[in-house]
Amino acid sequence: MGTIVGERSGFVIGISLCNAGNHKILTILLRYPAISDISALRNALKKNFRSMFSFAKRVTVKNTHAEIRWTYSVRKPGLDDIAALIDQFVQALTMNARPFDGRCEDCGNVRTSELTLFNDIPGYHCSACQQRTISDRQQQSVEYGGKSMDFIWGFFWAAMTGIGCALVTGLGEYLFDEHGKLAWQVLIAFPVLTGMFVGFAFGKRVGRLDLRTQGVALFVLVLACNWLGEVCYGTLYLLRTYHIGFTAQLPAVVFRNLMRYRSTPDGAIIQAVQLLGAFVSVGFARLQRPNFRAEFVSLSEAKLRAVAPSAGALSIL
Ligand SMILES: [Zn+2]
């Protein structure tokens, strides 16, 4: 809905508010020049935030910025609460971080008074450093594009992970089911977790990620692993319920019946969840690709109005 960016005691502070369904999320971004040890600052910020409010909230502290996310629905924080909170944050910052000193935060030499968004995060970057960052990232992107793709190796690790997940799924569902019925949480958790683990393993090991050529194989692999997990569960279920001995044909019979079961509403839901798991795997693999984006937007330009719709933003609260 809006973001306002300002400076307080030499620190840059951004406050934004957005809607997420029935909730609103207030995000407070605190920017400081890079610090090497963040533990003291993290403790100070978390201590402050915990003592004041009982809303759902999250504090993340990185070496160049901290972000406080505050999710609320009914009880909305008042302007006074927010102002008091920011005072406390600034106090914690002055004790644990240096303020900006009017120079570029990258080279520390060139006087830079103009706020610039670097990949949406406000800070002080002189034009030479902006150019250098852009060309560095371009260079890294080119180097990444030239890296060898190790598809077999990546696929091997993804398959090993997927088979492991399938066995855990079979056993887990077997342990959690009640008279052959699985709770929907269980039904969703295993395929989605499988997707996350397999996607992560693939992205980590494949060398160069290119999902246009690799995505389909990954998708099919995760789907196959989800089926394998289901077959494991079905087989275990039959062994337990009918006290029959295990034969090599049993998993094949289970698989054929599961595929037939797909035409029923329950079967279709299970298939939909498994497809979701396969999509999740592609997303998680994508996250392993380094980000080469370097976008600078000067806050003094006309774009300021789009980014920071003046002081009116806070009144939306
Ligand atoms: Zn610079």
In tens, the pLDDT along 54-70 reads: 556 788 899 999 998 88
Is residue 304 one of the residues assigned to a domain? yes
Q: How far is CA 286 from CA 138, 157, 213, 227, 249, in A?
A: 19, 16, 13, 23, 38
User: Do 156 and 125 sit in the same domain of this protein?
Assistant: no
What does the DSSP 8-state code read for residue 102? Answer: S
Q: 91 and 31 share a domain?
A: yes
Q: Is there a single domain that holds both residue 159 and residue 273? A: yes
Same domain, 218 and 256: yes
- Quickly state the pLDDT bin for 301 (edges 50, 70, 90): low
CA distance 177 to 206: 36
Q: pLDDT tens, 271-283?
A: 999 999 999 999 9
Q: How far is the CA of 243 from the centre of ligand 1 (A)?
A: 74
Q: What's 66's DSSP letter?
A: E
Supply 87's token pair: 């005072």
* Type of residue at 174: Y
73 and 196 together in one domain: no
| Pair 278, 308 in one domain | no
**CATH code at position 20:** 3.30.1460
Specify the number of domains making up the chain. Answer: 2
Cα(120) to centroid of ligand 1, in Å?
18
Q: Is the pLDDT of residue 305 over 50?
A: no
Distance 103 CA to ligand 1 centre (A): 8
Specify which of 85-89, 97-101, 179-183 reaches the highest per-range mean pLDDT. Answer: 97-101
For every residue of 288-300, DSSP letters joined together read TSPP----EEETT
* Distance between Cα 98 and ligand 1 center (Å): 17
245 located within any domain:
yes
Ligand 1: centre distance to CA 105 (Å): 6
Give domain status of residue 141, yes or no: no
Please give the distance, rounded to the nearest whole angstrom, from the Cα atom of residue 127 to the centre of ligand 1: 7
Using the predicted structure, report yes or no on whether residue 311 has a pLDDT greater than 60. no
Q: Are residues 152 and 283 in the same domain?
A: yes
Report CA(135)–ligand 1 centroid distance (Å): 14
Distance 100 CA to ligand 1 centre (A): 13
Q: Is the distance from CB of 15 to CB of 28 less than 8 angstroms? A: yes
Distance 34 CA to ligand 1 centre (A): 14
Q: What are the residues whose beta carbon lies below 5 Å from ligand 1 (ion)?
A: 104, 106-107, 110, 126, 129
- Window from 137-146, 175-184, 227-236, 299-308 with minimum mean pLDDT: 299-308
- What's residue 18's pLDDT? 83
- Collapsing DSSP to helix, strand or coil, 124 comes out as coil
pLDDT higher than threshold 50 for residue 33: yes
Q: Is residue 65 part of a domain?
A: yes
Domain that includes residue 99, residue range: 2-135+299-316
Q: Please check whether residues 226 and 274 belong to one and the same domain.
A: yes
* Residues 86 and 155 placed together within one structural domain of the fold: no
Residue 83 lies in a domain: yes
Task: Report the separation in Å between the CA atom of 309 and the middle of ligand 1, taken as the mean of its atom positions.
Answer: 28
**172 and 55 inside one domain:** no
What's the CA-to-centroid distance between 107 and ligand 1, angstroms? Answer: 4
Query: What is the Å distance from ligand 1's center to 66 Cα?
Result: 22
**Banded model confidence at residue 287, pLDDT cuts 50, 70, 90:** very high
- Residue 230 burial (C-beta neighbours within 10 Å; 0-12, 13-18, 19+): buried
Q: Are 290 and 107 in contact (CB under 8 A)?
A: no
